[in-house]
Amino acid sequence: MGPTDSALPATIDMVVARLDAIVEQAMRETSRLGYFAALYNRVTKAVRAGIRAGRFDDNPRMERLDVVFANRYLDAYDTYRRGDGPTASWQVTFDAAANPRLSVLRHLVLGMNAHINLDLGIACATVAPGGQIDGLQADFNRINDVLGSLLPTVEAQLGEIAPRLGALADVAHSMDRLDERLGNFSMEKARDGAWRFARRLARLDSRVAREVSMAARDTAIAALGAELRSHERASALVSGRDWEDVAAHIRILAREDGADGGGDRRARA
């Protein structure tokens, strides 16, 4: 077992503590596995702030969803670190961490592909099974506001890591469309697809049917991940090959500029 491999968290505070530990370990080991962990930790802290502020219709349910969702990633991470096989979607993502020819942005997109396109729908169907799923939609959509509040700061930090990417961001302005242009990946489309998958999964009335559906989804998302991972040349052209200081890049992504979930600093070219 690695130093972060332990029982899965039961609260959102425990999720943040685990993610903090993964980020610290990745910086010590100069591991690109820390890129997604750092970004995801920022998102989790922003969701936690929203829960504490009472921004959701059902804040306790939102914490349960956050924990179930995070544990999908943490279990995959621990499984991979032990040398076992996580879901195919995460296997593609984690294997890519050894590739210095991919940009930091590409590594982040690969993590989002596995976590949103596969894990999010499963987590939603777990927390709100059957007809309960429709009652979750409003709070599910509110997460988009939380994510949107983080994007300017994350965009600026990516600009620090890759000045060429920052120059593009000054022209493009919006991170949610930046990732689609650079990575053939759209956050909005991914979340819409995750919701459709959640609704289908929640209404399946047998364990076997759910397992078959999740396995088919995993296969499809792993194939998308493999396609995203294959664009090495475009990745290097746009935002620079990642053979520099991996720990410094993680530190930038983990840094909480201004208020968590906000900030208007533009990328520095």
Contact 113, 191 (CB under 8 A): no
Alpha helices per DSSP H over 12-120: 12-29, 33-52, 59-81, 88-96, 104-114
Residues 97-145 have pLDDT tens digits of: 999 888 888 899 999 999 999 999 999 999 999 999 999 999 999 987 7
Residues 61-104 have pLDDT tens digits of: 999 999 999 999 999 999 999 999 999 999 999 999 999 888 88
Strand segments (E) across the chain? none
pTM: 0.85
Tokens of 61: 């349910």
Tokens of 78: 């621990």
Tokens of 31: 């591991």
End-to-end C-alpha distance for the chain, whole angstroms: 41
What pLDDT does 257 receive?
67
Cα separation of 42 and 262, whole Å? 11
Q: Give the mean model confidence (pLDDT) for residues 232-258.
A: 68
Q: State the virtual CA torsion across 187, 137, 147, 14 in degrees, nearest 10.
A: -110
Residues 191-215 have pLDDT tens digits of: 999 999 999 999 999 999 999 999 9
Residue type, 148: G
Radius of gyration of the chain (CA): 18
Length of the chain (residues): 269
